[in-house]
Structure 1
Amino acid sequence: MQQSSKIPRLLIISLDGFRHNYLHEHNLPTLNRFRNEGVQAKHGMQPTFPTMTFPNHISIATGMYQEDHGVVYNIFYDRLLNITIGMSNDRDNRQWSNPKVEPLWITATKQKVKCAVLFWPACQNKFNGIRPLIYSWSYTDDIPFREKIDNAISYFREINFYLSEPDKQGHTYGPDSPKVRDTLIRLDGDIEYLLYKVKCELNDDLNIIILSDHGMTKVKKVIRPFVDKYLNKKSVETSILSGALFNVMPRTGLTETVYNSLRNIPNVTVFKRNEIPERFRYS
């Protein structure tokens, strides 16, 4: 890229579920050009726990751990607000009332920086009464990536850009599948198209950050605590099972019963909330 203008332009692209070794396992010349010619994190990015899309995108945007910004799952029940919160929350339900939780697009907006946030989780919500100048209301795969690129290029000063791929294909077909390979090759071509547009329409004057929220691995066995009779569903108020994490809220007086039942599941570690190790930053 050429030297930036006096007021730098910035584009942040998140490729959901882009595993660290995809760059080495597949022929991705454009993405590897970023790695070889630009600046990269020496040891990669360490996701926050748990490694899920919604909480990690809020951590990326705020620089906070999940126990601090409050998004602890892709979908979860907030006992204080008495609502269920997830990435599809279109309405503002006071879930972002903590003034300490401030995404970078809100910081930019407060400083009068023109900012657009496209399809990033929670970008449609108000943070302490503030939204960015431009934002997308909800995520959709119906709009091709290159059309989203065209829209992004037309805005500019700072843009956050979220894409659900290759996460969607990785979850459905597995990280080593031909579907993921084909998606990565297509994404690499789309990034090449982005560079072409930047050169033609922005005079090659754009800082670009490409990142991901978490990786992907093979699943050898699925455990369903209720279906597999490890736990009686009537013993818990609420439960969320997604990926490798199972959260439950035991009914009053049944905490020890639920705890001991879950400990019977092979190869599973069970923590009460006040016993979660500090390294997880999750309690």
Structure 2
Amino acid sequence: MVCLYVTGMILFGLHSANSLSRFPKLLLISMDGLRYDSISDYTVPNIYRWATQNTWFLRGMRPQYMSMTSTNYMGMVTGLHAESHGIVSNAFYDIDKESGSIDLSYTKEQDSGEWMNHVDEIIRLFTRTMDPANFVAWYIDDPDKTLHKHGFYDGKFIKIMAELDKVFGYLIGQMRRHRLIDKINIILAADHGHAQIGGAKNVLCIREYIDYSRVLTGHNILYPTDKALFDEVYDNLTKAVNDNKLKIKIYTKDTKMTADIIDLYSLMCFVLKIRPAPNNGSLHRIAKHIHLRRYHSWVWDHDERYEYMLLLLASLLIVAIIITICLISLWVVLAWSRSKGDRDYDEESSKSSISI
């Protein structure tokens, strides 16, 4: 599996201008199919300049399995694996209607003119007088749409990348114009990337190197039944790749990547200063890659141990307050009783003196 992902991030100080939300602000831009290593000064100079000035995951991030658009974007905004958020594909079969279904937002044609309008709408959402937005997510269906139709090498990819770069440059220009560039955090991300096969010579027939009767198979994945078989399968595939001089990397479940795509959820919650819902991601895992030093993982990373600790501390505090109130009340009652007793004694003494 090849990890195909890019993200950049800008974190700036905030000060008031226009009608902005008083909460931290974040713009999430998702360019479908934008490979992390397709960013260069030649193809997308505006994006490249912005990425090099900020945080750029040069080796990509670990995507969800399967590496599909809906699966990865749902993982990105929930921090959950596909097994938990339930979006395991782009299309589904509706058992009630007895037909397949797909989100129409992914089939609608977009172009650079429409993207420019999207930029204007984003600016409006952040600066509107009534209820200004503090989080906006923007999805762009290219370069994925172009790559599926044309691949990398007929000139269409370079053209669409230039259009995307122009739109990104327009966004940054509009943010500067409206004095928003130092007030809004930006994350540029993608769900996956593409690779050009280039003919049958670059295709590896796995059945020629693995005995399928000894492994369990799933959709684009192999499940060896024990450690010895795992090592054998891995060694056979690695040798086959090297012998055939293929540009393929064999990944295992434990292969260390820079970070996971689901970790972006914890990062976004941190930027927005909101507590994340229970999730599979980790702020700590991504923080060490973006030099995020000043944070308290126990506040942001959901961990039941900390939930119990906070609940225990809250309970102890409530008990302490109740005990304190009871002690103060008891002291007041005793003081009042003592004072009343002294007054009664003085009155009795006074009556006795008069009688004598």
Distance 1:267 1:83 in 2: 37
Structure 1: distance between partners of 2:156 and 2:195: 15
Q: Unaligned stretches of 5+ in structure 1?
A: 89-118, 122-137, 223-243, 245-262
CA distance in structure 1 between the aligned counterparts of 2:81 and 2:159, rounded to whole angstroms: 33
- Specify which of 203, 206, 213 is matched with residue 191 of structure 2: 213
Instruction: Report the equivalent of 1:155.
Output: 125
Q: CA RMSD in A?
A: 3.6
Residues 98-148 of structure 1 show CA distances to partners (whole Å, capped at 9, x for unaligned) of xxxxxxxxxxxxxxxxxxxxx6x7xxxxxxxxxxxxxxxx85416621111
Among 245, 253, 256, the alignment partner of 1:279 is: 253
The 1:267–1:187 alpha-carbon spacing in structure 2 relative to 1, beyond 3 Å, is farther
The AA in structure 1 aligned to 2:157 is V
Please say if residues 94 and 101 of structure 2, whose CA atoms lie closer than 8 Å, have aligned partners that are also in contact. yes
Q: Which runs of 5+ in 2 are unaligned?
A: 1-9, 16-21, 127-133, 225-251, 255-356
Secondary structure at 1:77's aligned position in 2? strand
TM-score, normalising length from structure 2? 0.47
Q: Is the 8 Å Cα contact of residues 37 and 58 (structure 2) preserved in structure 1?
A: no
Look up the SS of the partner of 1:185 in the other structure: helix
- Structure with bigger helix share is 2
Q: Kindly state the Cα deviation for residue 194 of structure 1 after the two structures are TM-superposed.
A: 0.3
Moved more, 77-86 or 63-72: 77-86
For the residues of structure 2 that align with 1:268 and 1:77, how far apart are their CA atoms?
Answer: 33
1:4 aligned residue: 14
Structure 2: how far apart are the matches of 1:70 and 1:38?
33
Give the TM-score normalised by structure 1.
Answer: 0.58
CA distance in 2 between counterparts of 1:72 and 1:53 reads: 10
Identity of paired residues, percent?
25
* Residue of structure 2 aligned with 1:173, choices 146, 150, 165: 150
More strand by share: 1
Report the Cα distance in structure 2 between the residues aligned to 1:279 and 1:198, rounded to whole angstroms.
Answer: 41
Tell me by how many angstroms 1:18 deviates: 0.7
- Say whether the 8 Å CA contact 2:116–2:170 is kept in structure 1: yes
**1:24–1:42 CA distance, 2 compared to 1 (3 A):** closer
Write the distance in 2 (CA, Å) between the matches of 1:268 and 1:168: 37
- Offset of 1:198 from its aligned partner? 0.5
Q: Distance in 2 between matches of 1:268 and 1:150?
A: 56
* Aligned positions of 1:3-152 closer than 5 A: 3-5=13-15, 7-24=23-40, 26-41=42-57, 43-77=59-93, 84-88=100-104, 139-141=108-110, 144-152=114-122
Number of residue pairs aligned between Structure 1 and Structure 2:
194
The equivalent of 1:106 in structure 2 is none
